[in-house]
Structure 1
Amino acid sequence: MDPAVPGPFGAIENGAIGVIDGRIVQVGRRSEIAGSRARRVEALGGAWVTPGLIDCHTHLVFGGNRANEFEMRLQGASYEDIAKAGGGIVSTVSATRAASEQELVDQALPRLDALMRGGVTTIEIKSGYGLDKKTELKMLRAVRALGRGRAVRVVPTLLALHALPSDYKDRREAFVRLATDEIIPAAKAQGLAEAVDAFCEGIGFTPAEVQEVFEAAAAAGLRIKLHAEQLSNLNGAALAARYGALSADHLEHLDEAGAEAMARAGMVGVLLPGAFYALKETCKPPVDLMRKHKVPMAVATDCNPGTSPVLSPTLMLSMACTLFGLTPEEALAGMTLNAARALGRENEIGSITTGKVADLCVWDVTRPAELCYWIGHPGPQRRLFGGIEA
């Protein structure tokens, strides 16, 4: 599927893909490529081939899980009740701090494997459950280790402002200083992160606090992303746009000014239907507004232990359509080309285009829309990473 090809999905019927040394060198109809320099020709029996799926927003590395809280909520416990019992993000932070780097890797691998079985060939993984320098860097090292242990491209992001730790309850400014003056420079110096993220929200951090983190990220030469407009509108997306952010994510409460700012900055809006579903939200992201201003829309799992314990990328494709009203073509673009844009990798991955890496999925479907039609399609028949089946 090539975005330069006119028509639905950029699809080429009776197509063929030429791959040399892990990169795509030819794309076209079989009749056009027949007799080429290929050393080996492999027939796929008319199967549909898409770019490898890209999960551009996850919190895959963490200690423990919060299944017990899920049960408590179903039995009527409030968020406050759970927090008083030592639950919520506090429990994940405690478990993450207590785990060794190898234990974090071992716990994350089954989750990563599940996403890979669903077709993921590139995944972004955030830190953010350490809330101190030592653990944030430990998490990022675990993220890097995951990329070395599997046939998948891992993109690490430092979630510098996620939540306020209890020991900084009355020292917000000091915690922001910790992030800007110590954690961000250390992550950059050790080559552990490609971007910096924050949670701009009433229960998170103010725009002024986020701006300080953006300044520190820019000074370190790191790209910027932002959790924005999930529960309210603090104009986080517009703030991120002023700093040339790659994306703003969630966006349920995005307004027109924010959409316009994102469009001018060339940002991607990352939609996270798993969190919307798990939190039983009712305010949907303004998809029509993003269409109006031509803001590219990506789709991701937001895999995390508290609000989106999702391990199926194809389920997110389906939910993006049924819950948010995306077309199947928009949803698939949201987990391929637009997801690549959200990671700053659109020149390397995200479409079946000459010169890009041959990350591909081969699907047993009769038309691409089936990837969204089947609720939680189990995944591709075959998954190629850099031209090699894995």
Structure 2
Amino acid sequence: MNTPKPLIKDHPEQDLFFFNCRVATMAGGKYNIIENGALVTRGEKILWAGPGQDLPGELKKEEAAPIDCKDKWLLPGLVDCHTHLVWGGSRVNEFEMRLKGATYEEIAAAGGGISSTVKATRAARGDALFSRAKKRMENCLQQGITTLEIKSGYGLDLETELKMLRVMDRLSQEFPIHIEPTFLGAHALPPEFKDRSGEYIDLVTQTMLPAVKDQGIATAVDVFCESIAFSREETRKVFQTATDLGLRVKLHAEQLSDSDGAALAAEFNALSCDHIEYLSLSGARKMAEKKVSAVLLPGAFYFLKEKQIPPVHWFRELGIPMALSTDLNPGSSPVHSLTLIMNMGCLLFGLTCEEALAGTTLNGARALGMEDRKGSIEPGKDADLVLWDIDAPADLCYLAGLSPVEMVVIGGEIRYTAR
């Protein structure tokens, strides 16, 4: 390929007509392959998709820009539904500590872990955070990610949490990728509140959450419910406040132990439970009952050398949608490639290639409450599309870490091309 052009700006809006393409629509979470396909966009939406020979005559006469796909694959844009993309500092030293045998809990107890990133993020100016995050966003666009969730949670005070959310808003203005900002004020206990978690939760619920709501800079609220973070009752308090404010909730649950967080998340009709390696069958049943998505994060599993595999068989049996995401963060999952995560999902968690691709398209969108707009190629949905130079959709799982993107379309506009 030639040198990539990272972002196309200021080009005239025009409907697009893709032809000579093979299409995997991912509707219903299945490949649904269309050979000799065609697709027409109208404004920001998909107008029509199907076999080229079935293209309605009136659409053939439309003045849409023709794009000869030359038998390449057209798929829905990728969705990375769980990231911590905005942060300051580095934790490469902790990576070396873990290689020497230190556990996640031991590193956290020694002042490392999330607390280390909090210190660096608090000290960083907004412009510096934006500059570093911008490079990560460019990588997202070039690998075909068209929808992205970003969490706060490295501030743990009102000023820095709002600073992070403002950086996300600035990224949303700079990039065409759709960003879903999540407030994760209850990520860890800040050092100034040592042994006073109840007081910190009061700060989150009484001060931070109302300010976040007033500024309209987050669409959901997350909590880390775990033995090294916040209890089930503390999580309930945050969820109740968020719900009262009209904000959706999601949960870091059952990553290191079973805290019965998934059942609590289901009680509050959460969008998703994420990690969930230690999920119980009763918790899974409650997720299924309330249609809570499971977000699998094999990057953290891999980097932390975990052994407990998420109960994928229960998700299949109970019909719980499985999303896959990078969990991009500086400590437990510094993984920048969503296709590598698909490979990990297959090899570490036993997903099929079709399940992995559904996890980064339709089910990823479902974990953000956006399945009616994104994640599959269907008329009426957002025209977020990626043209891939691959032999089959399974190549995105098989060719570990490779992202052979030819073109990225977001909202009906060409936003990146490798030509």
TM bin, normalised by shorter chain, reads: over 0.9
Aligned residue in 1 for 2:117: 92
Aligned residue in 2 for 1:350: 375
Long gaps (5+) in structure 2: 1-23
Q: Find the aligned partners of 1:194 and 1:77 in 2 and give their Cα distance.
A: 36
1:220 maps to 2:245? yes
Letter of the structure 2 residue corresponding to residue 341 of structure 1: R
Please, which moves more after superposition, 52-61 or 145-154?
Answer: 145-154
Question: 1:88 Cα deviation (Å)?
Answer: 2.1
Question: 1:81 Cα deviation (Å)?
Answer: 6.7
Aligned residue in 1 for 2:162: 137
**Normalised by the size of structure 1, how large is the TM-score?**
0.96
Aligned residue in 1 for 2:261: 236
Q: Find the aligned partners of 1:215 and 1:153 in 2 and give their Cα distance.
A: 27
Letter of the structure 2 residue corresponding to residue 366 of structure 1: D
Q: Find the aligned partners of 1:188 and 1:114 in 2 and give their Cα distance.
A: 30
Q: Find the aligned partners of 1:81 and 1:56 in 2 and give their Cα distance.
A: 28
Q: Find the aligned partners of 1:167 and 1:363 in 2 and give their Cα distance.
A: 49
8 Å CA contact 2:79–2:148 kept in 1: the answer is yes
Aligned residue in 2 for 1:38: 62
Aligned residue in 2 for 1:2: 25
Aligned residue in 2 for 1:191: 216
Which one of 35, 47, 58 corresponds to residue 25 of structure 1?
A: 47
8 Å CA contact 2:115–2:188 kept in 1: the answer is no
Q: Find the aligned partners of 2:227 and 2:111 in 1 and give their Cα distance.
A: 21
Which one of 333, 336, 341 corresponds to residue 311 of structure 1?
A: 336
Aligned residue in 2 for 1:335: 360
Q: Find the aligned partners of 1:280 and 1:188 in 2 and give their Cα distance.
A: 37
What are the within-5 Å matches in structure 2 for residues 262-277 of structure 1?
A: 262-277=287-302
**Residues 138-193 of structure 1 deviation map (CA, whole Å, 9 limit, x = unaligned):** 11111111111112111100012110111111221110000111111110110110
Q: Find the aligned partners of 1:252 and 1:318 in 2 and give their Cα distance.
A: 18
Question: 1:87 Cα deviation (Å)?
Answer: 2.8
Aligned residue in 1 for 2:16: none
8 Å CA contact 1:19–1:26 kept in 2: the answer is yes
Long gaps (5+) in structure 1: none
Larger strand fraction of residues: 2
Which one of 219, 234, 256 corresponds to residue 209 of structure 1?
A: 234
Q: Find the aligned partners of 1:78 and 1:358 in 2 and give their Cα distance.
A: 44
Question: 1:30 Cα deviation (Å)?
Answer: 0.5
Distance 1:191 1:80, change over 3 A: closer
Aligned residue in 1 for 2:6: none
Q: Find the aligned partners of 1:85 and 1:212 in 2 and give their Cα distance.
A: 28
Which one of 350, 356, 369 corresponds to residue 394 of structure 2?
A: 369
Q: Find the aligned partners of 1:142 and 1:19 in 2 and give their Cα distance.
A: 31
Secondary structure at 2:218's aligned position in 1? coil
Q: Find the aligned partners of 2:202 and 2:109 in 1 and give their Cα distance.
A: 28
Letter of the structure 1 residue corresponding to residue 333 of structure 2: S
What are the within-5 Å matches in structure 2 for residues 113-124 of structure 1?
A: 113-124=138-149
Distance 1:80 1:273, change over 3 A: closer
Which one of 273, 285, 290 corresponds to residue 248 of structure 1?
A: 273
8 Å CA contact 1:119–1:313 kept in 2: the answer is no
**Alignment length (residue pairs):** 389
Aligned residue in 1 for 2:412: 387
Q: Find the aligned partners of 2:133 and 2:252 in 1 and give their Cα distance.
A: 22
Secondary structure at 1:72's aligned position in 2? helix
**Normalised by the size of structure 2, how large is the TM-score?**
0.90
Secondary structure at 1:291's aligned position in 2? helix
Please, which moves more after superposition, 287-296 or 145-154?
Answer: 145-154
Q: Find the aligned partners of 1:366 and 1:353 in 2 and give their Cα distance.
A: 22
Aligned residue in 1 for 2:36: 14
**Residues 322-381 of structure 1 deviation map (CA, whole Å, 9 limit, x = unaligned):** 110111111111001111111111111111010111111111111111110111122411
What are the within-5 Å matches in structure 2 for residues 91-110 of structure 1?
A: 91-110=116-135
Question: 1:4 Cα deviation (Å)?
Answer: 4.9
1:177 maps to 2:202? yes
